[in-house]
Amino acid sequence: MNAPIPAHTLPPEDLPKDLPKTVTTGPVTGSVKAYAAPRERPDLRVPYREIALTDPGEAPVRVYDPSGPYTETDARIDLSAGLPEIRAGWLAARGYGAVAPRAVKPEDNGFVAEDRLVAPCPATRTVRRGAPGQLVTQYEFARAGIVTEEMIYVAHRENLCREAMLAQAEGKIADGESFGAAIPPFITPEFVRDEVARGRAIIPANINHTEVEPMAIGRNFLVKINANIGNSAVTSSAAEEVEKMVWAIRWGADTVMDLSTGRNIHNIRGWILRNAPVPIGTVPIYQALEKVGGDPLKLDWEVFKDTLIEQAEQGVDYFTIHAGVRLAHVPLTARRVTGIVSRGGSIMARWCLAGHRESFLYERFEEICDICRAYDVSFSLGDGLRPGSIADANDAAQFAELETLGELTKVAWGKGCQVMIEGPGHVPMHKIKVNMDKQLAECGEAPFYTLGPLTTDVAPGYDHITSGIGAAMIGWFGTAMLCYVTPKEHLGLPNRDDVKTGVVTYKIAAHAADLAKGHPAAQIRDDALSRARFDFRWEDQFNLSLDPDTARAYHDETLPKDAHKVAHFCSMCGPKFCSMKITQDLRADVLAMEAASAVVGEATSLDEAARAAGMAQKSAEFLGEGGRLYVDAG
Amino acid sequence: MNAPIPAHTLPPEDLPKDLPKTVTTGPVTGSVKAYAAPRERPDLRVPYREIALTDPGEAPVRVYDPSGPYTETDARIDLSAGLPEIRAGWLAARGYGAVAPRAVKPEDNGFVAEDRLVAPCPATRTVRRGAPGQLVTQYEFARAGIVTEEMIYVAHRENLCREAMLAQAEGKIADGESFGAAIPPFITPEFVRDEVARGRAIIPANINHTEVEPMAIGRNFLVKINANIGNSAVTSSAAEEVEKMVWAIRWGADTVMDLSTGRNIHNIRGWILRNAPVPIGTVPIYQALEKVGGDPLKLDWEVFKDTLIEQAEQGVDYFTIHAGVRLAHVPLTARRVTGIVSRGGSIMARWCLAGHRESFLYERFEEICDICRAYDVSFSLGDGLRPGSIADANDAAQFAELETLGELTKVAWGKGCQVMIEGPGHVPMHKIKVNMDKQLAECGEAPFYTLGPLTTDVAPGYDHITSGIGAAMIGWFGTAMLCYVTPKEHLGLPNRDDVKTGVVTYKIAAHAADLAKGHPAAQIRDDALSRARFDFRWEDQFNLSLDPDTARAYHDETLPKDAHKVAHFCSMCGPKFCSMKITQDLRADVLAMEAASAVVGEATSLDEAARAAGMAQKSAEFLGEGGRLYVDAG
């Protein structure tokens, strides 16, 4: 996928100077990080974020939280020690052998000079590798009918105490169109197992990433989002690189792809993984290309295989592998408006064409599977031929590759691996759904993971929006994870604000998709915020929003005083023209009329009758008019 | 519609201090404002914006331009004189009588104190009123089979020299899904007439707004957008208010609604209209309410009628009239999460319920039609009961009102008036299309004009995005005009940056909709930009974008040097990892292979054969391998 932060090829003077020196910690404004355990496993600590509301009649709202321990109230973070190894015990019980890690080679860090080397993360971990015949991947366990700790964790995490929320919503049935997805009202560990066994969901969790908080990607779970990060040329501390990940997950990124290239990438990846509570994805061909001096024609299986093992031992949770770019597909791109826009795709196309040979990724795919299986690295089968413009959407090259990815999905499943499929890109609205339908059909419902898609090419500088539109739609249609796009896409390197804007925009797309799919309880948060809005509970409105700080800051630009936080109006209309204020008065009148009807014998509930009891005067007035609900207009 | 800028009820210290003192003039970066005349009427000057490209092989791209004379290269603007009366001659030929204008009353300007009165615009105009039996409205002319100058102007404006562009696209047939819309490859004046006669399009153009550049709103034309403006409490000059309109149309607003309330609104409206090249819409009930001291219960037909005439004489092009809020609908809103969120809707609901009487807007609707017809003020039938939250979308109240609006549409047509219909609001994705389908069915295909809709309520501060998603979708489904939402929606007063962000976001939504509908030539701009991107023509990429200044600024943040504007890479990947660079090399190879095939007897065109001639060496290499397009991988 694209939109990384790296810029190792740029002279330092061209780079932004505001890189952070520490990582961001502390709660998201207006909420508390908390943990809960499922009944069957009281030892698990499953994270969520809880937003307490100022109205005592309103239950706190629980929201999904990928931000890790960084948002705890008294977060104590020691990057050198790494995060707690929450999976160590589970994995130990599965009996994988500790292996001597592959020795780090100079090319792993891009042949960096000794004086510019970023020291490796001191948090050393046991390196595990599954043996042939052992169950290793979540897919293998699921196929064997076994529920893992990861599955129990995921089930509880996705439910977000949904029982309580559904009760609060008075048993409201999910209202949506899910296009054939089968979202249950309640997620059980067995449901997670079955979805993984069918290949419809993955739990990216390398057995060497003991720090990861398990999560699921699949269309019967909440729609997830990914943010991309990458190293910069002026890295002076590992904290700067870890901070990019911490900042992205703070705002809601569910996974992070490290698209670094150049110097120090092995060691920086180590710092990131040891401190990452979310799955980390990479594109190994990038590092492999660096190792051969940047010339695609010098790539070969040996250097690629060595890179896979290097990264798998470090704990990378999913690999983008562009094995669908076959020699026969390359000529299909020749007359495109924007050719091949995937870096991995263009590298492999060049490799294939230069030697008139089939892709080694395709030919060695079973061997790649064997490596991935041994560590439970999930596949993210790359769409190297995705369209890079509206003009190229849904063309022969794109769909030929997708068919190949379908073929490879079955190979990977046969080898016991977890698989998701990457998708476009740039697609006008009327061509989006066929992408989803074809992906489901070709790839046996393996999770789809799309970049946007951008729905028009005319707005560089606003491509988080052009793509947010497409992302919301394809998420609704069934895409399981959306790769974010920042406002700087196609133009430059995203800074902190851009990353936040990209993540929040994609949280909007994912949530809008969950709502439209009828995901149970997705509407709980919308409704809580809407009630807060109607009641003029400004603090609750801010705190329930995806970005409380910005909501509050915007409000305070025109109404900064504390008194305005409880004011029964806002700056848009002022108190006199406030429709909500008028409506509140109105509501009392209407309910009084209804209650009056109840008094005169049309009560439909005790509740209405009770209201009626308190509204004697209104009722009397009303009854004085003959008890008719409507009277003739004068 | 909501999201205005007004804040007359706020103390001055709470208001932003950065109000402009002049209006913005000069071309949008990288383009030239130009005019062209249709063959049949060489006297008409129809505006467009032309973007010249740096590649001599690329034709300039013409784009639709509502910005008026303000973006001319040497714009000479005199706000006191107003814009040229381009319609004066056309209207004179139609023979409307000049009427003595209604005298301005103290309440028209909100009883402002003499020392705070904004002087009226000195540009005095003849006030016209059509007589009974005269053809006045565009609808009446169209029904009579007459093509007006406005229709000829609109046809040429919509075509944007489409002949030339279609030729450039090699006759490419529009590729889209328009859901039953009937978009022709080329717009003729007769087509415009027929669409207006069927009620499927309107040309909002009050006979007292002689300065307006005619435009069409209808689903077989380009999707339009509206921006809202309004006065502020600290107005110190009319220029400040005019500038809000000028700024919005500069970035692409096709119409502007003036939602002002409070002091000086009559005089400020005059300044806006005399200087507005776009149709201006208002919500007359706001001013009527001011005239009765802000108490809805004091509203009556006389004050409302007087306000309609006041505004019609000034030249307002369309009125939002909330005549669909009937007494019987009010109780349907009582259990909503957010009640009634339309200001006009809540005012009328209160009026109806307090007196248990039918809406005077509904009961007097035929009289309102008579007034609108006499000046050709178009109806924008307000959705006073639109949902204000996801929870309330598509409920009984909303759809009951829509059915009433359908009934009123036919009444208005019967009276010779032009009509469009306002729509929601807050609607999750899966409930959007039924809104469009029901509107088309109930309202006889009258143009739909929607606010968003917002697809989730959880992102205050980002509601341009939550609503941009819904706007793009409903635009695709058939909505003719999209009312913008700014990032400050629900929170505060939009500033200049917010207005620009809202307009650009809605231009994205409208353009994405045009693309998906298969609007002929909509893709021209996308393709031109995509080619510029692939060719590393950075200047062209900036200039073709909806916001050239932001695109350039973002690029320059990381690659500020002029040399980088022609660099064959960008900051995202750097030169070594550039997929586009790799692809360009690749393309040469593929084309060489194809050419070689041509040499050995498979030529499909002279073009290919010609390429082959220049590629002797590549061909020789290829033929040395036996002329097979693919060779076995080694």
Rounded distance between C-alpha atoms, residue A16 and residue A70, angstroms:
25
Pairing of strands A419-423, A378-381: parallel
* Tokens 């300039």 found at: B60
> Are the Cβ atoms of A10 and B334 closer than 8 angstroms?
no
Q: How far is A543 from chain B (nearest CA, A)?
A: 10
Q: What is the pLDDT of residues B29-77, one digit of tens each?
A: 999 999 999 988 999 999 999 999 999 999 999 999 999 999 999 988 9
Q: How many CB pairs under 8 A join A and B?
A: 478
Find the CB nearest B343 among A490, A579, A632.
A579
Rounded distance between C-alpha atoms, residue A460 and residue A266, angstroms:
33
Helix axes B496-517, B463-477, angle to 10 degrees: 30
A422 carries a ligand binding annotation: yes
At residue A629, the pLDDT reads 32
Q: Is the peptide bond before A453 cis (omega within 30 degrees of 0)?
A: yes
Q: Is the peptide bond before B384 cis (omega within 30 degrees of 0)?
A: no
Q: What is the pLDDT of residues A557-581, one digit of tens each?
A: 877 666 666 666 655 566 566 777 7
Average pLDDT, chain B: 87
Measured between beta carbons, the chain A residues lying within 8 angstroms of B517 are 430
Which of B15, B170, B429 to mutate to test binding with chain A, by most A CBs within 10 Å of its CB?
B429
Domain boundaries, chain B: 568-633
At residue A601, the pLDDT reads 38
* Tokens 């209604």 found at: B102
At residue B520, the pLDDT reads 80
At residue B367, the pLDDT reads 98
Instruction: List the single range of B10-24, B151-165, B525-539 with lowest mean pLDDT.
Output: B10-24
CB neighbour class for A632 (10 Å; exposed up to 12, middle 13-18, buried from 19):
exposed
**If we measure between CA atoms, which residue out of B139, B140, B164, B124 comes closest to residue B271?**
B124
Closest residue, chain B, to A594 (C-alpha): B331
A511 carries a ligand binding annotation: no
At residue B233, the pLDDT reads 61
B257 carries a ligand binding annotation: yes
Measured between beta carbons, the chain A residues lying within 8 angstroms of B169 are none
> Are the Cβ atoms of A388 and B530 closer than 8 angstroms?
yes
Closest residue, chain B, to A580 (C-alpha): B341
Measured between beta carbons, the chain A residues lying within 8 angstroms of B349 are 582-583, 586
Q: What is the pTM of this model?
A: 0.90
Residue B427 near residue B398, CB atoms below 8 Å: no
Q: What is the pLDDT of residues A307-323, one digit of tens each?
A: 999 999 999 999 999 99
Closest residue, chain B, to A228 (C-alpha): B572
Pairing of strands B46-51, B32-36: antiparallel
Token digits of residue B49: 């914006």
Q: How far is A394 from chain B (nearest CA, A)?
A: 12
Mean pLDDT of B514-542: 92
Indicate the SS3 state at residue A341.
coil
∠ CA(A383), CA(A233), CA(A122), 5° rounding?
90
Token digits of residue A469: 């539109």
Find the CB nearest B390 among A505, A515, A555.
A515
Q: What is the pLDDT of residues B399-445, one digit of tens each?
A: 999 999 999 999 999 999 999 999 999 999 999 999 999 999 999 99
CA dihedral A328, A330, A336, A340 (to 10 degrees): 140
At residue A596, the pLDDT reads 61
At residue A30, the pLDDT reads 97
Judge whether residue A368 has pLDDT over 90. yes
Find the CB nearest A572 among B3, B15, B345.
B3
Which value does ipTM take for this structure?
0.90
Sign (positive or negative) of CA dihedral A464, A465, A469, A470: negative
β-strand partners of A318: A281, A378
> Are the Cβ atoms of A632 and B357 closer than 8 angstroms?
yes
At residue B20, the pLDDT reads 45
**If we measure between CA atoms, which residue out of B139, B153, B136 comes closest to residue B45?**
B153
One DSSP character per residue, B312-368 reads: HHHT--EEEE-TT--GGGGGGGTT-SS----HHHHHHHHHHHHHT---HHHHTHHHH
Q: Within chain A, what is the greatest distance between any pair of CA atoms? A: 94
> Are the Cβ atoms of A554 and B465 closer than 8 angstroms?
no
Closest residue, chain B, to A359 (C-alpha): B633
Mean pLDDT of A600-623: 37
Judge whether residue B138 has pLDDT over 60. yes
Q: What is the pLDDT of residues B556-615, one digit of tens each?
A: 887 766 666 666 666 556 656 677 777 777 777 777 766 665 444 333 333 333 333 333
Judge whether residue A83 has pLDDT over 90. yes
B543 carries a ligand binding annotation: no
B209 carries a ligand binding annotation: no
For B12-39, give one letter per residue: b (16+ CB within 10 A) or e.
eebbbeebeeebebebbebbebbebebe
Indicate the SS3 state at residue B553.
helix
